[in-house]
Structure 1
Amino acid sequence: MSPDIDPILREWAFQPEEVTVRSIRADDGTERIQLRLDLGILQMHVDGRPDGQRVNDCESWLDYHRQQQEQHDQANPDAARYLLEPEDCVELLREGVQYYHRYLSFWHLGRYELCARDTSRNLALFRFVRNHARNDRDKLQFDQWRPYVTMMHARAVATPLVDLEEWEAAINVIDAGIRGLEEFLGDYGQENQADRLGELQYLRRWRKDVVTKSGGGGEDDDESLDPVEQVRSQLEEAIAEERYEEAADLRDQLRRLEDPQPPQLP
C-alpha cells in the first residue's frame, strides 16, 4: 500500500471557513475521529489519549504525574509539595493540545457528552499545573485557556438539556460556567474586566436566551447592561462619524465578544 495520502485528501476537501471533522471505522473495527487540516488529517482515538499511546503504564502524562504526586505526598507528608519542572509542563501542554483537537471535533459532531468529558479533563489539567508547576510562567501558559475551556464545557453539558427543554437544569449548568469565569477573573484580580471577557459575556447572553425560551424574564431583559449591545452601538456611531480606525478596533472587540476564540496554539 502506498504511503501517499493525496487520494484521501482529494476525496475529503478542506473547508477553511469551518471545522471539517468525521467519524470513521479503523481496520480493527474501532471508531476513530478525523479532523481535516489544510495540509493533512489528524486521526484520534475516541478514548484515552487521542494518539492512542500510554505513558509509563498510565493513560496520560496527567495521570502519571497525579500518581507521582500521590506517591510523593504519602512518602513525604511533611516535605515540600510535588513540583512540575518546565520539561514536564511541555509534555503536559502537548498532550492538552491533543485533547483540545478532540473535544473541538466532538463538539462539531454533536457528541456533547464526549466533548464535556474532554473539556473536564483539560480543566483538571489546568488545576493540577496551577497547584504544582514550579514556574509561574508555566501556570499562566496553561491557565490562559481556562476561560475558553470553561465556556466550552458549559456549552457541551447544557446544550442537550436545552434541546430537551430541561430549562432549570440548563440554567444551573450555565450559571456554574459563569461562576467559574468570575472565579478566573478573581484569581487574577481582574473583576473589573468582566465586560471584556468574551467567554463570560457569551454565557451571560446564552443564559438570557434560555431564560426567555423557558418563559422567564426579569433582570435578564435589560439589554442596556449587555456589553455586546454597547459595543455594537459604539461601532455604529464610529462608522457614522467616519472614525474608521476606532471602528476597526470595535469590530474586532465585538467579534471576540460574540464568538470567543481559544488562545493561539503553542
Structure 2
Amino acid sequence: MRSKDISPILEGWDFQPDRISVRKIVGLDGKPKIQLRLDMGLLQMEVEGRPDGKRPYGYESLLEYYLSLLEEHRESKGSDEDFVLTHDDCMALMREAVQYYYRYLSLFHLQDFEGVLRDTERNLRVFDLVKRYAEDERDKWAFEQYRPYVLMMRARAKGALKLAQEDYDGALEEVEEAIEQIKSFFKEHGREELMEESQELKVLEEWKEELKSKRPKGAREWLEEQLRLAVEREEYEKAARLRDQLRALERQQRRPS
C-alpha cells in the first residue's frame, strides 16, 4: 500500500520561524503549484484560479458565485435592494479570502508581482461586496479590518512592477496613493489615532523615502539641488551660472516640439 506520509516532501526543507519559506513545484498533473512551508507541514496551492483548485457551484470562486446571485437579483427585482449576505455567506467568503491571502503572500516572496496584484485586487472586491451587502455589521468589520494590509500589499506589487520598468515616479505615485487610501480608511472609521501605530503606513512611508533616495534625478531637479547647495555655500558665481542653466532649460521645455 502506498504511504501517504509527507515526510519525504519535507525532507531537506526545514521550517524557519523567522522567514517565509515558499517554492514553486510541478504537480503530478503537470501544472505549476505553490508550496508554503508551515511548522507542521505545508500548504499547496494552485497558481491560477481558486488556490485549492475547487470550483464552488461551477464558478471560479465563491466571490464569482455571489456576484452572479447579485446580478440575478438585480435582473429579477430591478435593483439590488433586499440582497443580503448572511453570516454563513460571509464566513464562507472569509475562508476563501484566506486562501488567496496565503497565495499572494507566497507570490510576493516569489516576486510574482502580477499574481500579487491579481489576488489582492480580488480580495478587495470581496471586501467591497461584504461591506455593501452583509446584514451584520460585525461581519463587515471582520473583513474591513484587513483592508489597510491588502492595500499595502497591492501597492507594493504595483510599485515593484513600475520599478521593473525603471519607472521610479510611477512607483512613488502608487505608494503615495496607497498611503492616502489607508489614511482615508482610518478617518472613515473614526480611528485617526491608529495612523501612527499602523504598520502598513510605516512600511509604505519607509519605502517612499527609499524610492525618493534612489530615484534618478532629472536635469531640472539636479540643477535645482546644485543651486541650493551653491547658495548655502555662498558660491554666488556658481549659483548665477546654475540659474542661467535653469532658465535655458525652462525655455527649451516651453519650446514647441
- What is the TM-score of this pair, normalised by structure 2? 0.80
Match of 2:133 in 1: 132
The equivalent residue for 1:32 is 33
8 A Cα contact 1:130 1:139, kept in partner: yes
Matches within 5 A, 1:165-180: 165-180=166-181
What is the match of residue 206 of structure 1? 207
Give the Cα separation in 2 of the matches to 1:183 and 1:79. 26
Matching of residue 144 in structure 1 with residue 145 in structure 2: yes
Instruction: Please list the CA deviations of residues 132-178 of structure 1 after superposition, one character each: whole Å capped at 9, or x if unmatched.
Output: 10100000111111111110110011023234431111111112211
Q: Spell out, residue by residue over 1:222-261, the C-alpha distance to the aligned partner (whole angstroms, 9 max, x if none).
A: xxxxxxxxxxxxxxxxxxxxxxxxxxxxxxxxxxxxxxxx
RCO greater where, 1 or 2, for CA within 8 Å and sep 6 or more?
1
Structure 2 distance, partners of 1:173, 1:39, is 37
Trace 1:58-97 onto structure 2 (pairs within 5 A): 58-77=59-78, 80-97=81-98
Change beyond 3 A, Cα 1:166–1:79: closer
CA distance in 1, matches of 2:112, 2:202: 24
Task: Find the aligned partners of 2:161 and 2:48 in 1 and give their Cα distance.
Answer: 21
TM-score by length of 1: 0.77
Alpha-carbon distance in 1 for matches of 2:81, 2:92: 23
Whichever of the two has the greater Rg, that structure is: 2
SS at 1:199's partner residue?
Answer: helix
Counterpart CA distance in 1 for 2:173 and 2:16 is: 36
Aligned match of 2:233: none
Q: Which runs of 4+ in 1 moved over 3 A?
A: none
- Secondary structure at the residue paired with 1:50? coil
Give the C-alpha shift of residue 124 in structure 1.
1.1
Give the letter for the 2:72 counterpart: Q
Structure 1: 5+ residue stretches without partners: 218-266
- For the 8 Å contact 1:73–1:81, the answer to whether it is kept is no
Which residue identity does 1:84 align to in structure 2?
A: L
* Partner SS state of residue 24, structure 1: strand
What is the deviation of 1:179?
A: 2.0
Q: What is the CA distance between 1:79 and its match in structure 2?
A: 6.6
**CA deviations over 1:110-150 (Å, ceiling 9, x no partner):** 11110111111111111111011010000011111111111
Helix, strand or coil: the match of 1:56?
Answer: helix
Cα offset, 1:81, TM superposition? 3.4
The residue that corresponds to 1:233 in the other structure is none
Most deviating of 73-82 and 132-141: 73-82
CA positional deviation for 1:190: 2.1
8 Å contact kept, 1:162–1:210 = no
Map residues 1-266 of structure 1 onto 2, 5 A cutoff: 1-77=2-78, 80-214=81-215
Can you give the 5+ residue segments of structure 2 that lack an aligned partner in the other structure? Answer: 222-257
Among all aligned residue pairs of Structure 1 and Structure 2, give the percentage whose two residues are the same amino acid: 41
CA distance in 1, matches of 2:17, 2:79: 54
Q: Paired residues, what number?
A: 217
| Partner SS, residue 34 of structure 2 | strand
Give the direction of change, closer, same or farther, for the CA distance of 1:90–1:208 in structure 2 (3 Å limit): same
